[in-house]
Chain A
Amino acid sequence: MDNLQEQFSNIYDEYIDKIYRFVYLKVNSQEIAEDITSKVFTKGWEALQGSQEDIKNLGAFLYQIARNAVVDHYRSKGRTNVVSVESSPEIADPNTGIHEKAVLSADISNLKNAIQKLRQEYQDVIIWHYLDDMPIASIAELLGKPAGTVRVMLHRGIKDLKDIIQES
């Protein structure tokens, strides 16, 4: 395996879960998330091969492709905030009868749906910071905005999320 392949292989292993999750939380569909994620990594690999200069932050580059891919997806389909409770392994079966599990499952489902209703920029910063453990400085760099602005976005995003959940 040459150096480029090895580099991308490592990046793939590191980011496949993150990018998939990032996309999944935006489209709320396993099938679509897989489709978009595969496009993201394919484009990433093609860009890496065709690039004359080294891509400094390949992870950030993949997130950027993912953001654009999701935008393209909704642009082509016509955005509809469909509230889906599509089955997925991380959501507990509502028929288990175990009260706590059912409550937890319902909470997670509400949370997922609420995230989808957020503005895209809030979605991004919340996922990156709370799910991907990305530092604010890195998010700021990724978005090309000051760290203070990212903090404000995070704060407003969580507030909006809280409002959406409480309204549902």
Chain B
Amino acid sequence: MAKITQKQITEQLKTLKDIKPRKEWAVLLKSQILPEQQLQATIPAQKISFLDILSSVFAPKKLVYSLAVVLFLIIGVFGFASQTVPGDLLFPVKKIAEQSQAALTGQIGIRQNVVTLNNRINDLAQVAKQGRTDNIPSAISEITADASALVKDLQNNAVGNKQTIKEIAASLKTLADVPGTDLTANQDVKNLYQTVVQSQIADLQEATLTDEQKATLSEVEELYNQAKYVEALEKILLINN
């Protein structure tokens, strides 16, 4: 072989710099070594796997189905409970629903108690109409409790809201009209009648009345003095109407 100088050798050595690994191999190796890049490389493969497609399709649906079942159960229970009356198993659920609804609509305190009393009087009317005698004591008990609460509310509010008093008066009239039930002897209900009549008399005394209305008001005052609150209330309603 021809002589070669050291300089030529060093020059030839530099040509070996062209030795390089395959690009695709180098990229693949890097992706295999570094976890994050490996993850990025494997994610597309996982996305197209059959099991992942199945789970991605059905897993969210399972959750939706479960939520739907729970939702239907809740709606069903509350729907059924809305038809119950005092003494029924699901009646407490109805009360909870009413309280929640009242809270959501801003009916709190005396307003909530007025609505509740009205609902319980309607329940009593329904029970009496359907002849469900077993439920009557529970219905009366509920009304008594609501009447007691309302009396306290009215006492705390002194004169109270005129519109609220009129609503209570209307509810008491409905109660008086329920056939087969007479709650006038019940002390809590009697107290409520008394409070309402007293408040109404005070309002009417300040109002401008016709001669006929003034005469009726005098009769109301007499009935009130005789503790005949139901009759007094009926005459008050005549004046108001």
Contacts and interface: CB of A to CB of B under 8 A. Distances in A.
Interface string A132-168: 0000000000000000000000000011011001111
A51 B26 CA distance: 25
A120 interface: no
B74 interface: no
Given A25-B16, A131-B14, A41 B29 contact: yes
Q: Chain A interface mostly helix, strand, loop or mixed? A: helix
B4 A131 contact: no
B6 interface: yes
B30 A9 contact: yes
Interface stretch (B33-41, B84-92, B122-130): B33-41
- Pick the most buried of A5, A16, A17, A88: most chain B CB atoms within 10 A of its CB: A16
A25 B9 CA distance: 15
Contacts of A20: 19-21, 26
B21 A12 contact: no
A107 B18 CA distance: 14
Interface of A: 1, 5, 8-9, 12, 16-17, 20-21, 24-25, 30, 33-34, 37-38, 41-42, 45, 88, 90, 104, 107-108, 111-112, 126, 130-131, 158-159, 161-162, 165-168
A33 B37 CA distance: 23
Interface residues of B, number: 28
B63 interface: no
A130 B10 contact: yes
Contacts, number: 86
The 7 closest A-B pairs by CB, nearest first: A20-B21, A130-B13, A90-B18, A21-B19, A45-B33, A17-B20, A16-B26
Interface in B103-125: none
- Pick the most buried of B14, B17, B19: most chain A CB atoms within 10 A of its CB: B19
Nearest to B16: A131
B21 A17 contact: yes
A96 B110 CA distance: 106
A159 B6 contact: yes
A41 B29 CA distance: 9
Given A5-B35, A12-B33, A38-B29, A131 B12 contact: no
Contacts of B29: 16, 37-38, 41
17 contacts: A9-B34, A9-B37, A12-B30, A16-B21, A20-B21, A25-B16, A41-B29, A45-B33, A88-B19, A90-B15, A111-B13, A111-B16, A126-B13, A130-B10, A131-B14, A158-B10, A162-B4
